[in-house]
Amino acid sequence: MSTTTMLQPKAMRDTLLLSVYEAMLRDDNVFFVSADFGSPVLDKIRADRPDRFINVGIAEQNLINVSAGLALEGFKVFAYAIAPFITMRCYEQVRVNLALLSEVRPMNVNLIGVGAGYSYVVSGPTHQCYEDLTVMRALPNMQIYSPADQVMAAALPELCLAKNGPKYLRLDAQVLPVLYGDGVDGLDAGFRILRTGTDVCLVATGYMVHTALKAAEKLSATGCSVGVIDLFNLTSFAEDRLQQEIASCRGVVTMEEGFRGRGGLDAMMFDYLARRGTGIRMLNVGVDGGYRFELGERTVLHEQVGIGVESATAKISSFMQTL
């Protein structure tokens, strides 16, 4: 982590779009379609590749359908909008023209959804996004990426361009601390081990990786050995290696910025652990209590719904006493 401080913190959206921009300069087959959603980097794409950039307007159904049509003509497409809208406003289009159609015809369409979890803090539940992992997981060929920092986000476009099929990239809208200042490699594994521990292993995704690291610090101060894993690929990861990592722990804790018990990361880990026959105990940290309209700092909101550092640490601590 020595070079961490050398990187200027940026929104993962901007580092990812910069990679897309660079790919568009190299490859005329890359197309960018936005549903009237911007970024300073997007202005570079609009200026330097105007023939490969389209703004469909506030029209997510058409965003997906036009992207599908372009992909059928051989373009590799990035479609861009706010996370709840690109996943749920046009779910039927995603299902039919991306998931279903790509089973018959090769397509490369990458949905970039910005605003995971509570990242649009003051905008309320229409713009916050706690259901996207659930609905996108339901599509059997949708690949889901949920990076936790700007370096990982920047590495994803190259991966996406090399791999056909529909993909969903779930991005945080805020500037988060850099985790991978030394770079990321071995992305095929689908996860990164950030801490090793023997008592309990925290498996988190996106913003919650940062919460997990803080909770692990607090718990280790009380003498617990806590591991932290950043699971950034929610559809395909090195299952054997993950099992090796968690096998030495007495319990696993999933941590997500989405509704608990509704089919997100927790369901994915339930399925994984059951299939592997590990018998390992699990605690799920996710949003409790449904939709909320309170205003406040993200960390405050997180404590209210049970996923903040303090509440997560308390839950994990109680869980560990039962192991």
Partner 1 sequence: MSHNNELMYLLTGKARWVWEETLKLHRRSPETRVASSLSPIEIFVTLYYGGFLRQDPANPRWEERDRCIISKGHGSLCMYPVLADLGFYPMAELEKVCQEGSFLGGIPDPVIPGYETVNGSLGHGAGVGAGMALGLKRRGKSQRVYVVTGDGELHEGSNWEAFMFAAQHRLDNLTVIVDNNQISMLGPTDEIVSHRNLAAKFEAFGWSAREVKDGHSVEEINDALLACRADTSDKPRALIVNTRKGNKVPGLENAPLSHVTAIKSDVIAQLLGEKA
Contacts with partner 1 by CB under 8 A lie at 31, 51-52, 54, 56-57, 59, 61-62, 64-75, 92-93, 96-97, 100-101, 104-105
Q: How far is the CB of 93 from partner 1 (least distance, A)?
A: 7
| Smallest gap from residue 203 Cβ to partner 1 (A) | 36
Ranges of H-type helices in 27-162? 40-48, 60-72, 83-84, 91-93, 132-137, 150-161
**Angle subtended at Cα 135 by Cα 210 and Cα 228, rounded to the nearest 5 degrees:** 20
| Nearest residue (CB) to partner 1, 88 versus 100 | 100
How far does Cα 212 stand from its chain's mean position? 15
Residue corresponding to tokens 């920092």 = 149
Helical pair 265-276 and 239-247, crossing angle rounded to 10 deg? 80
Can you point out the beta strands (E) in 68-142?
76-82, 108-114
Q: Of 76 and 315, which CB lies nearer to partner 1 in the complex structure?
A: 76
Minimum distance, C-beta of residue 52 to partner 1, in the bound complex (Å)? 7
If the CB atoms of residues 7 and 59 are measured against partner 1, the closer one turns out to be 59
**Side-chain half-sphere CA neighbours of 34 within 13 A:** 16
- What length does the chain have? 323
Q: Are 292 and 125 in contact (CB under 8 A)?
A: yes
- Shortest separation between residue 273's beta carbon and partner 1, angstroms: 35
Would you call 133 helix, strand, or coil by DSSP?
Answer: helix
CB of 113 to partner 1, least distance (A): 19
For partner 1, the closer CB: 62 or 304: 62
Task: Decide whether 138 or 247 has the Cβ nearer to partner 1.
Answer: 138
CA–CA separation, 20 and 40 (whole Å): 13
- Shortest spacing between CB 44 and partner 1, in angstroms: 19
Q: Cβ closer to partner 1: 70 or 273?
A: 70
